[in-house]
């Protein structure tokens, strides 16, 4: 028996990169996994094949997380397809670089719709099912939600809000549901490594993170005692300490 055998998980934005690694890590431990994607249909299909190769049930649904109705419909389909829900990972996120004074209302609203409102709406839709299963939520925050990055003001603010939302959910939905947050630092996955070397040099662990490092943090909360709730785990090689 693997630790997540018989459990059902939903990971948002998991066609590729960090979300894909999280989905694969959950499937590796025996979970049946549904993923969502928006534009990356071919990558989502490949991830579903790779999930199914781990032996569990797997499927992907297209969902625009800026659309509240699409979120409701997608969560309902996930619950129907998996026969319930034990673990929700709110991974999908949006990142962009803009000088603080150049952030428009549209920029601000889009980033908050994806990074802050969507995790709330997905969790709210999933709540009755998570309550029924004594389930768990893991939100993917960011080191940027803890440290002010001057050219990412709306991103940092949206992730700081997500950190607080995680604590609020943990208190509001206990004792049935545990809620935690993983905050990645500099994660490099397929980009040109040299462009990020300066981050590796100033990171105490002397390297940038991988998607698998973040997935390990999520797996911890997915399998830990549910008494561990409302916590924020940075996965940053110590970068936030410097
Ligand atoms: N990479 C890092 O160094 C880092 C650092 C700190 C925090 N994080 C956080 O970790 C998470 C994953 O990071 P990542 O770099 O792997 O993310 P990413 O590639 O930028 O985005 C992950 C996925 O989110 C989906 N997505 C974005 N906006 C969406 C929307 N409105 N509706 C539906 N799907 C949407 C996209 O799906 P499609 O491709 O299908 O459109 C995308 O593939 C994010 O929450 C990110 O903020 C990452």
Residue 71 belongs to domain spanning: 8-234
For the annotated catalytic residues, the residue numbers are: 155
Flag whether 192 is in a domain: yes
Probe ligand 1: pick from 11, 18, 235, max atoms within 8 Å of CB?
18
CA of 64 to the centre of ligand 1 (A): 12
Tell me how many domains the chain contains: 1
Give the model confidence (pLDDT) of 105-145 as tens digits: 999 999 999 999 999 999 999 999 999 999 999 999 999 99
Q: Which residues line ligand 1 (CB under 6 A)?
A: 13, 15-19, 37-40, 63-66, 91-95, 114, 140, 142-143, 184, 186-187
pTM: 0.98
- What residue's CA is closest to ligand 1, atom 1? 187
| 227 in a structural domain | yes
pLDDT tens figures, 67-113: 999 999 999 999 999 999 999 999 999 999 999 999 999 999 999 99
pLDDT at position 95: 97
Whose structure tokens read 């949206």? 158
CATH number where 167 lies: 3.40.50.720
Per-residue model confidence (pLDDT) at position 194: 73
Whether residue 241 is contained in a domain is answered as no
Cα(138) to centroid(ligand 1), Å: 15
For residue 33, pLDDT over 80 is answered with yes
Cα 11 → chain centroid: 7
Q: Return contacts of 45-51, CB within 8 angstroms, 24+ apart.
A: 46/15, 47/14, 47/15, 47/16, 47/20, 47/23, 50/20, 50/24, 51/23, 51/24, 51/27
């Amino acid at each position: 028996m693997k630790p997540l055998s018989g459990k059902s998980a939903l990971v948002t934005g998991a066609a590729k990169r960090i979300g894909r690694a999280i989905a694969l890590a959950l499937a590796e431990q025996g979970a049946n996994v549904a993923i969502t994607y928006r534009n990356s249909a071919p990558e989502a299909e490949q991830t579903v094949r790779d999930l199914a190769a781990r032996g569990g049930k797997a499927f992907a649904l297209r969902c625009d997380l800026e659309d509240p109705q699409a979120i409701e419909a997608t969560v309902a389909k996930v619950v129907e397809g998996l026969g319930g829900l034990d673990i929700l990972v709110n991974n999908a996120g949006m990142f962009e670089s803009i000088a603080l004074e150049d952030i428009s209302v549209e920029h601000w609203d889009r980033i908050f719709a994806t990074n802050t409102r969507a995790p709330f709406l997905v969790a709210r839709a999933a709540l009755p099912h998570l309550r029924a299963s004594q389930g768990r939520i893991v939100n993917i925050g960011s080191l940027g939600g803890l440290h002010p990055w001057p050219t990412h003001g709306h991103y940092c603010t949206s992730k700081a809000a997500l950190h607080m939302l995680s604590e609020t959910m943990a208190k509001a939905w206990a004792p049935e549901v545990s809620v935690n947050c993983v905050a990645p630092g500099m994660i490099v996955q397929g980009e040109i490594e040299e462009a990020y070397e300066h981050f590796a040099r100033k990171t105490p662990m002397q390297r940038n993170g991988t998607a698998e490092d973040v997935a390990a943090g999520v797996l911890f909360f997915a399998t830990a005692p549910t008494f561990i709730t409302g916590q924020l785990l940075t996965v940053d090689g110590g970068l936030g300490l410097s």
